[in-house]
C-alpha cells in the first residue's frame, strides 16, 4: 500500500517536472526564431519538409473523405428528397470538424513522428551536444525552425484538406449522382458562414498544429538517447498528439458551437 502511494507520488512528480520542462522548452522555441536571412532560410527548409512533403497524403485523404461524405450524405438525404443539401453537409462537416481533425491526425503521423525521430537521432549521436559546445543554441538552430514550420503549415494543410474534400464531394454528388450543381453550391454558400464556420475551423487547425508540433519536438528533445528511447518517443508523439487533438476538439467544439 505504502509502495503504491510512493509510486504514484513519484510518477506525479515526474509528470509535473515534464510539464514544466516542456513549457520552458516551448517558450524558448517560440522566442528562439531568428528572423534574419539565415533564420528564414532554415524556416523555409523546414516548412518544405514538414508542410510541402505532407501535401500528398493530405490531398489524397481529403479527396477520398470528401467522396465518402458525398456518397453517404446523398444516400441519407435522398430519402427525404433533400439531396440538394449534400453540398452544405459536406462543406460544414469538413470545415468545422474533419478538416482540422483529420489533418492533425495525419500530420502527427506523417510529420510529427519524423520530427521526433530526427531530433532524437541528433541527440543520440551527440549532434545536439556538439552544437551546444560550439556555442550554437540547438533550441534556436534546430527546434525553433521546426516548431514554427509545423505551426505555420498545419492551418494551411487543413484549408487544403477541406478544399480538396469539397471538390471530392462535388465529384460524387454532382458529376456522378446527378445533384443539380446550382443547388449544391448555393446551399453551401448560404449555410457556411465565414465568421462562424471557417474562422472557427481555422482556430482549431492553429491549436492542433501548435499542440502536435510541440509534442513532436519536445518528445524528440527530451528522449532517452538509445534506440529503445527513440522508438518509445516516436510512439508517444503519435499517441499523445492524437489523443490531445481529439480531446481538444471536443472542448473547442463545445465552446464554439455548443453554446457554452
> Using CB under 8 A as the criterion, which residues of the chain lie in contact with other proteins when the complex forms?
38, 125-127, 129-130, 132-137, 141
Nearer to other proteins, 130 or 227 (CB): 130
Least distance to other proteins from the beta carbon of 131, Å?
A: 8
32/147 Cα distance (integer angstroms): 10
Calculate ∠ Cα 106-22-127, nearest 5°: 80
Least distance to other proteins from the beta carbon of 19, Å?
A: 21
Nearer to other proteins, 127 or 196 (CB): 127
Least distance to other proteins from the beta carbon of 108, Å?
A: 23
Nearer to other proteins, 25 or 240 (CB): 25
Nearer to other proteins, 13 or 136 (CB): 136
3-state secondary structure the chain: CHHHHHHHHHHHHHHHHHHHHHHHHHHHHHHCCCCCHHHHHHHHHHHHHHCHHHHHHHHHHHHHHHHHHHHHHHHHHHHHCCHHHHHHHHHHHHHHHHHHHHHHHHHHHHHHHHHHHHHHHHHHCCHHHHHHHCCCCHHHHHHHHHHHHHHHHHHHHHHHHHHHHHHHHHHHHHHHCCCCHHHHHHHHHHHCCHHHHHHHHHHHHHHHHHHHHHHHHHHHHHCCCCHHHHHHHHHHHHHHHHHHHHHHHHHHHHHHHCCC
Nearer to other proteins, 82 or 125 (CB): 125
The H-or-E segment that residue 178 falls in is none
Least distance to other proteins from the beta carbon of 128, Å?
A: 9
Least distance to other proteins from the beta carbon of 84, Å?
A: 53
Nearer to other proteins, 143 or 207 (CB): 143
85/89 Cα distance (integer angstroms): 6
Least distance to other proteins from the beta carbon of 125, Å?
A: 6
Nearer to other proteins, 52 or 246 (CB): 52
Least distance to other proteins from the beta carbon of 229, Å?
A: 16
Amino acid at each position: 500500500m505504502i509502495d503504491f502511494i510512493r509510486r504514484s507520488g513519484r510518477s506525479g512528480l515526474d509528470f509535473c517536472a515534464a510539464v514544466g520542462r516542456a513549457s520552458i522548452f516551448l517558450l524558448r522555441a517560440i522566442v528562439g526564431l531568428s528572423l534574419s536571412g539565415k533564420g528564414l532560410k532554415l524556416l523555409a527548409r523546414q516548412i518544405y519538409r514538414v508542410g510541402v512533403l505532407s501535401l500528398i497524403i493530405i490531398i489524397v485523404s481529403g479527396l477520398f473523405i470528401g467522396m465518402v461524405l458525398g456518397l453517404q450524405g446523398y444516400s441519407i438525404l435522398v430519402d427525404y428528397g433533400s439531396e440538394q443539401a449534400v453540398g452544405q453537409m459536406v462543406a460544414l462537416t469538413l470545415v468545422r470538424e474533419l478538416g482540422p481533425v483529420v489533418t492533425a491526425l495525419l500530420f502527427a503521423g506523417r510529420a510529427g513522428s519524423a520530427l521526433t525521430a530526427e531530433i532524437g537521432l541528433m541527440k543520440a549521436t551527440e549532434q545536439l551536444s556538439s552544437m551546444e559546445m560550439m556555442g550554437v543554441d540547438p533550441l534556436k538552430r534546430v527546434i525553433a525552425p521546426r516548431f514554427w514550420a509545423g505551426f505555420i503549415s498545419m492551418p494551411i494543410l487543413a484549408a487544403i484538406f477541406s478544399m480538396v474534400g469539397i471538390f471530392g464531394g462535388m465529384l460524387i454528388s454532382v458529376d456522378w449522382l446527378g445533384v443539380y450543381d446550382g443547388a449544391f453550391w448555393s446551399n453551401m454558400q448560404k449555410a457556411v458562414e465565414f465568421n462562424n464556420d471557417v474562422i472557427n475551423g481555422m482556430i482549431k487547425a492553429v491549436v492542433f498544429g501548435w499542440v502536435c508540433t510541440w509534442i513532436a519536438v519536445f518528445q524528440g528533445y527530451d528522449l532517452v538517447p538509445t534506440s529503445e528511447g527513440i522508438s518509445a518517443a516516436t510512439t508517444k508523439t503519435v499517441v499523445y498528439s492524437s489523443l490531445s487533438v481529439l480531446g481538444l476538439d471536443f472542448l473547442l467544439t463545445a465552446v464554439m458551437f455548443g453554446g457554452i
